[in-house]
Structure 1
């Protein structure tokens, strides 16, 4: 029995190793010469993606081999219990961190004892999460693998290819740039997740002054490294959706859609939005597979409250984030089209202050902010029609598996539009 388990683990390891050797290209492909200006500015905060791939891939497989040894495994019930505990601890961690931030902001020095207590409790919670992490990751990977298999995606014998592989951690941030006279995703680079606000502002200012580029450092929920790097402070449902989104990028990479992702802005939007749509659908199926009754609906971050000075809102006059952001994008595009760059930038800052006053603490809105968010066509910061086009495309298919397979075979935006027209004529 032990020999059989070891043999199976070895076969799976070899299979996955072949995948990681190919998937590492996702993080390293691109024209390095084009990134010189941004890489130079970000060099002190650079994120070593190659080391990430190697260290985390080997670490996760060590755990899998250990779990394959008779007597070292855990039951599915125990694994689900660990999943529930892990995400409950995420709520606790968020609460302790909020307490630390609140006490630290008190310039009088009062509450130092409470600060030490919260810091110690946060350390204990994080230590417990680290112990649970590998089993929780495997539960999530198994859930996504099962729904992918049921949808007919990536099935090769008894395996899913590429194998679903995630790491719950703090993902890198991304430094994004855009020309100032238009909204267009340009040079970008991943940076260390712990870079502070002052250093972010310094990088952005330097690129503005030296390269005349709008720049912004943004948090991201995940990145398609291998294993995929995912934010570890979210809910189970949100984590499953993000994990599935990143796995779909891995899956798309082995087809025309992923191979042509950076051939045009439209293809990048098509990739990201297809992964969003299918990721939500498959992620929801994985959530149900794992047992959607798990205590997942607890809020993992403290709600952002409006300023006390803000007057009470009148019924029917609520601030709608999506509506306001779409209007901000529309008006900004118009001003830039008219060549009124400074006016557009002043308008974006005025709007940012409105968002902050209404409980949405956005640090910066500029051309790069919209360029990044515009890649996700269903984002309110996007002006792309691709979101609606993909929804229309999906509606003509019986299942999400068919949708993923058909969109995976698309090599250009024009080809996608032709397919959409053909489906509409039927």
Structure 2
């Protein structure tokens, strides 16, 4: 293979010399190639096990997006700003609104949907870079940037904000029928309703309930963010996933997957901090979307009940019934409440133990009965500052740590209040 040449100055002329990259460049390149080869090997020999043909591979996702991640870290690519950014956002989300309307019509025109999706793809990279820039700016304003090693004066967002707009995988949730306890498995995003129901049936048995849910994103790197939601939803999700990336470098994030309260602690913190970052973005970069063409779907039936109130009470009632080992009664109540919600404008395909196992992970949601949620929300209310809030929460590893932090902040707040 012919080696690339570069020109180097000689005494009075230029001569061609073979390119000899620095040792560190060779080491990085070799490491990248070895990592890529190892990843491809894992993909080739991976035994997917149960539901193998439906499983989603995060390894393949990371490999497919390796180059894009490098470009993001190096800040290579377009950076639309001002009116150009607003126009890209308006066109992308107007197309998303049209796509969702067509998908939810009685007789969807598949050819039209493909055309709209292809047209929207032309704006995808710009929208990703725009929103990544907005999140990065909000992180800086919140005081969350970190100093570079040996260069304290230089602060950067770490890790860099990076996400991809795609259809995220679905999640198969299972839970014991006699208690609420989550297990999950990533599945492909393109499952039909018939496939979803078949997998749920196979996964369930006399001891286990199951449910397949759609998710808004995953904190891979780059993060996976759903591409067919509204602009506001995109901001919330992109910021939420970055908070997970941030927490991964601290004790709280490192507890993820260890069981107990690790997931409610992480998810609730990311929910609160992500919403705060998204609000900062909306205030700094308001975008006018004509005629509600902001990516939202067609309006549904009128909602005539308080969903949060109904769901919170249902969770408490289900917990009480399961504690008394009244499994069938709990399941009958969940189905009765599901039908009640549907009659009042809120359609939920299935409410069971797996439903609460998933949505209860977010301790600030109505599907949770975990006291962690209200405690983290109280800490947020007391601090009122994103940097202070995350600095406190990032070192929390369990419920006892949270109680200790909350106690200290409440005592300090009371002391300051008494001194006024």
TM-score, normalised to structure 1's length?
Answer: 0.79
Relative contact order, higher structure (CA 8 A, sep 6+): 1
**Paired residue secondary structure (1:177):** strand
| 1:207 has 2:203 as partner | yes
* Residue 287 of structure 1: how far off its partner (Å): 2.4
- Tell me the number of residue pairs that the alignment of Structure 1 and Structure 2 aligns: 366
Tell me the equivalent position of 2:250: 255
Alpha-carbon shift at residue 329 of structure 1 (Å)? 1.1
The residue number in structure 2 matching 1:366 is 352
Find the counterpart in structure 2 of residue 233 from structure 1: 228
- Structure number, greater radius of gyration: 2
Please identify which structure carries the higher helix content: 1
Which one of 125, 132, 135 corresponds to residue 141 of structure 1?
132
In structure 2, what is the equivalent of residue 190 of structure 1? 186
Distance in 2 between residues matched to 1:355 and 1:271, nearest whole Å = 29
Q: What SS does the aligned partner of 1:171 have?
A: coil
**Partner residue of 1:47 out of 53, 56, 70:** 56
- CA shift, 1:90, in A, is 0.8
Deviations 1:109-131 (A, max 9, x none): xxxxxx5xx33322221111111
* Cα displacement (A) at 1:98: 2.0
For residue 22 of structure 2, what is the aligned residue in structure 1?
none
Structure 1 CA distance, aligned partners of 2:296 and 2:273?
Answer: 24
- As a proportion of its length, which structure holds more strand? 2
Unpaired runs of 5+ in structure 1?
Answer: 1-10, 22-27, 29-35, 104-114, 307-312
Q: 1:302, CA displacement in angstroms? A: 1.6
- Choose the corresponding residue for 1:151, options 131, 138, 142: 142
Preserved CA contact (<8 Å) 2:163 2:238: yes
Contact 1:47/1:172 (8 A) holds in 2 = yes
* Aligned-partner Cα distance in 2 for 1:92–1:56: 28
Q: Distance in 1 between matches of 2:79 and 2:361?
A: 42
Is the Cα–Cα contact under 8 Å of residues 41 and 206 in structure 1 kept in the other structure? no
Change beyond 3 A, Cα 1:170–1:79: same
The residue number in structure 1 matching 2:336 is: 350
1:81 alignment partner, SS class: helix
Partner of residue 119, structure 2: 128
Does the CA-based 8 Å contact 2:163-2:224 persist in structure 1? yes
Q: Partners in 2 of 1:388 and 1:301 — Cα distance?
A: 31
- Judged with a 3 Å threshold, the aligned counterparts in structure 2 of structure 1 residues 158 and 180 are, in CA distance, closer, same or farther, namely same
State the 1:264 CA deviation. 3.5
Q: Specify the alignment match of 1:281 in structure 2.
A: 276
For residue 385 of structure 2, the aligned residue among 384, 396, 399 is 399
What is the CA-CA distance between 1:77 and the residue it aligns to?
A: 2.8
* Aligned residues of 1:151 and 1:400 also touching (Cα < 8 A): yes
SS at match of 2:159: coil
Q: Distance in 2 between matches of 1:394 and 1:297?
A: 33
Q: Secondary structure at the match of 2:221?
A: coil
Separation of aligned partners in 1, 2:128 and 2:295: 20
Corresponding position: 1:163 with 2:157: no
1-structure distance, mates of 2:94, 2:136: 24
Q: What stretches of structure 2 of length at least 5 have no aligned partner?
A: 1-24, 36-41, 149-153, 413-420
Instruction: Tell me: CA distance 1:87–1:298, structure 2 relative to 1, closer, same or farther (3 Å).
Output: closer
Classify the secondary structure of the residue corresponding to 2:104: helix
1:106 matched residue in structure 2: none
TM-score by length of 2: 0.80
Do structure 1's residue 328 and structure 2's residue 314 form an aligned pair?
A: yes
Give 1:101-116 correspondences, 5 Å limit.
102-103=106-107
Shift of 1:291: 2.7
Pair 259,122 (structure 1): closer, same or farther in 2 beyond 3 Å: same
